[in-house]
A and B are shown apart, each in its own frame.
Chain A
């Protein structure tokens, strides 16, 4: 009998434990269900289930509101809570934001997972996934807050704000990039280009490189003359990233080589300005010539043998070693290596990359560089309905655009990170620049909030640039000597100068990618778009590595046409017609 009681007690304990686990889980699933099924979607039920992420409910004044933010791009985390500038901004605004970044997923996957999990950050830049968040009723409408906060209201013109309106007529996010205040000071080329190390140009006495053929010819000659670097590494003349969504590095060059601007997913042929036509750049003659050229160079051993299988991290570490001479990429995709070069001294050896505005044939105009601001209405920063203090969050977003906070974010602390001369111009000493580029200093001191509202262009004082790298005096001083020599040799002062794209007003439909980025499988065009991507993912590296280019190109074209690209092109044409008001 004694045995029976002992057993029963044990049983009681076990079931108690199991029950409590069930109860805990039940709570959570209840929260999830509330979000996914509630039609009105105020998300109040979710807030109770997922309050762990945010710092607590409404904050009394004087206390710092801690918010979380997810950014669907890879980035470096700062020492949250121990970062100097983050603290300074929190003192001024009463808000501190902990940023978390994309790791090892695509943006769409990460956002899909966030929606499905029911645990939401307070702020989000979901990249291509913003529409998904809107569809799930998770975003707060900005309309009232835009009216209330002057900085936000002035951030875009009413017409520009209108471009952000979704099908229900409200604004749910705001893109924070490419927004110029005052005079434009653009010194960088934050777009795509074929890049080449400054020392390669120097070695050949700064030749004029205009075509793809000339570019590879120079790489070949340099690599033949300098098979290894100073520190004994084998030179990799050209590499090409194909990892996941970053395969644009191999994929979209044909559109630029043909002299078209970055509409991203298609070419817009405007020979008849009233009747612009969508053209598929994947199947043009230029596309074939470009991939054939890559194929030849691969066979010659000029292209990295591992290009097709390298991951983004491997690619970046390869570039940081300084033995890769050239690649085609967007500046923002690899810009972190400039800090590394500065730290390792490779910048003084001429390892920094400069952009070239290549075309397929000589004498064509190129449009690699986009002058003026590109308004990307498909993504931006949004506030989630579960945010504990929405009012204060918008007050904070508004404060981000105050000049003093803007300076703190991008210039740093006066006296520590920059100095002011007699004319009121900001400048940095070489030591300050070196410190500014140091990753550990960045983690403990710098807090850029790089995905919150910000300006390019000129500061309120009318003198200084909003971003230090755009301060004309600062910009040139900050360049490594080989870069200065290079710029002088070509008689240019900025990166866009190196490219020499023709200056023209952006077309009213530009950029078309803001539409294709948001296609879903709802429509045949969206299905085709996804399948086209998958096919290109497989076949583009394959044709480059092929030992029989012609036959593999034909096979690729068959596989490509089987995905019904016409469905996609038709929808793009419709959107194009809509944008020009036809």
Chain B
């Protein structure tokens, strides 16, 4: 998915003069268009695999054509339907909490801090986990949520529970554990863009609000949040496309047999059937499904935003 921002205002007439004035930008853009064609469009040719019984030996052009058989297999497989549900729900949870609500709240709170040093320190600490790889994050989670881990130990010492809770054997908790993992890892990082949006709000607005008698809360409600609105909408729209990219590593590393009915995502499904079982065609078919749905989600959301007169992508 490529995100393109038009340099010129919408609906403006493009004249030679404008083209000449923007020649450097256009030349730069061409490089990226070529990049896009090579790395995003040409590989789409591989989609043929989904309609044939692909074997590495016979290759893309020699394999037997089977039409929609692979898609039929997918949609008659109960597991695949489960997998779509899991991916969508975990994606949605990720979109709502770790990518949108919490970073906004965090950015606003951080912005309200008076001490500049403290603010810097908190911000740096909060986005450091972003640079850890998932294998480390899941390792920490696995240890701390195990029966003899720190979480159970604290809960037991506080007398809240008697027997340790087996977090990873409870299907109901899995999505929330994944959501929490994302929150811990990505919240600080995701807040950066909101922080910068906040810092670009015209200070005059705050002054005017103060004169009108707004307190801290009033300023957040009537100045900060409305000014953030375009940023929030654009980011929300862009992230919508990633809903089905709910993740692979987290679920793969944290999952186990007991919770597999809620832990497997489309990517894991592709791995088990496509790579391990050597059925590349089936894997490709599942991948196509994912891409098509993602594009649809973006188009629909964009249309909705357009209708309601909000900021939009295209």
Contacts and interface: CB of A to CB of B under 8 A. Distances in A.
Interface of A: 7-8, 11, 14-15, 18, 22, 26, 35-39, 41, 104, 106, 108-109, 112-113, 115-116, 132, 135-137, 242-243, 247, 305-306, 308-309, 311, 314, 520-521, 526, 530-531, 534, 537-538, 540-542, 545, 562
19 contacts: A11-B24, A11-B27, A18-B31, A22-B38, A26-B38, A109-B276, A137-B57, A242-B256, A242-B258, A247-B257, A305-B147, A309-B166, A521-B278, A530-B272, A537-B260, A538-B257, A541-B257, A542-B258, A545-B169
Prevailing SS type, chain B contact patch: helix
A109 B252 CA distance: 12
B300 interface: no
Given A243-B256, A308-B256, A521-B279, 5 more contacts: A37-B59, A136-B56, A137-B56, A305-B166, A306-B166
Contacts of B28: 11, 14
A264 B38 CA distance: 47
A33 to B, nearest CB: 9
Contacts of A36: 56, 59-60
B168 A309 contact: yes
A37 B60 contact: yes
A109 B275 contact: yes
Interface string B170-207: 00000000000000000000000000000000000000
A39 B276 contact: no
A525 to B, nearest CB: 13
A174 B19 CA distance: 67
A7 B166 contact: no
B57 A18 contact: no
B118 interface: no
B59 to A, nearest CB: 4
B261 interface: yes
A531 B27 CA distance: 53
Nearest to B38: A22
B61 A108 contact: no
B277 A135 contact: no
B277 A308 contact: no
A520 B278 contact: yes
Contacts of B57: 39, 41, 135-137
A305 B31 CA distance: 58
Interface in B239-293: 253, 256-258, 260-261, 271-279, 282
A367 B14 CA distance: 84
B257 A537 contact: yes
B129 interface: no
Contact of B278 (A14, A132, A562): A132
Interface string B57-86: 111111000000000000000110000000
Contacts of B253: 104
Contacts of B34: 22
A537 B147 CA distance: 21
B147 A306 contact: yes
A112 B56 contact: no
A428 B82 CA distance: 58
B161 interface: no
Contacts of B272: 530, 534
Contacts of B275: 108-109, 112-113, 116
A39 B277 contact: no
Nearest to A306: B147
Residue from the set A8, A11, A314, A545 with the largest chain B CB neighbour count within 10 Å: A11
A135 B55 contact: yes
A108 B276 contact: yes
A308 B276 contact: no
A562 B274 CA distance: 22
B278 A305 contact: no
Contacts of B55: 135
Nearest to A3: B24
Contacts of A11: 24, 27-28
A541 B258 contact: yes
Contacts of B135: 104
A352 to B, nearest CB: 25
B297 to A, nearest CB: 28
A305 B164 contact: yes
A13 B279 CA distance: 44
B276 A106 contact: yes
Contacts of A538: 257-258, 260-261
Contacts of A37: 59-61
Given A11-B27, A11-B28, A137-B56, A540 B278 contact: no
B146 interface: yes
B219 interface: no
B35 interface: yes
A541 B35 CA distance: 49
A116 B261 CA distance: 28
A537 B268 CA distance: 15
B142 interface: yes
Nearest to B24: A7
Nearest to A116: B275
A521 to B, nearest CB: 5
Nearest to B278: A132
A136 B272 CA distance: 18
A8 B164 CA distance: 66
A540 B169 CA distance: 13
A136 B58 CA distance: 9
Contacts of A305: 147, 164, 166
Contacts of B147: 305-306
A106 B35 CA distance: 34
B260 A109 contact: no
A534 B269 CA distance: 11
Nearest to B164: A305
Interface string B141-164: 010001100000000000000001
A22 B273 CA distance: 32
Contacts of B261: 538
A35 B253 CA distance: 31
Given A309-B166, A542-B258, A520 B276 contact: no
Given A38-B59, A305-B166, A308-B256, A8 B24 contact: yes
Contacts of B79: 531, 534
B150 to A, nearest CB: 15
A18 B35 contact: yes
A531 B261 CA distance: 13
A537 B142 CA distance: 19
A235 to B, nearest CB: 14
Residue from the set B56, B57, B274 with the largest chain A CB neighbour count within 10 Å: B56
Contacts of A541: 169, 257-258
Across chains A and B, which 7 residue pairs bring their CB atoms closest together, nearest first? A112-B275, A537-B257, A136-B56, A108-B276, A37-B59, A309-B168, A521-B279
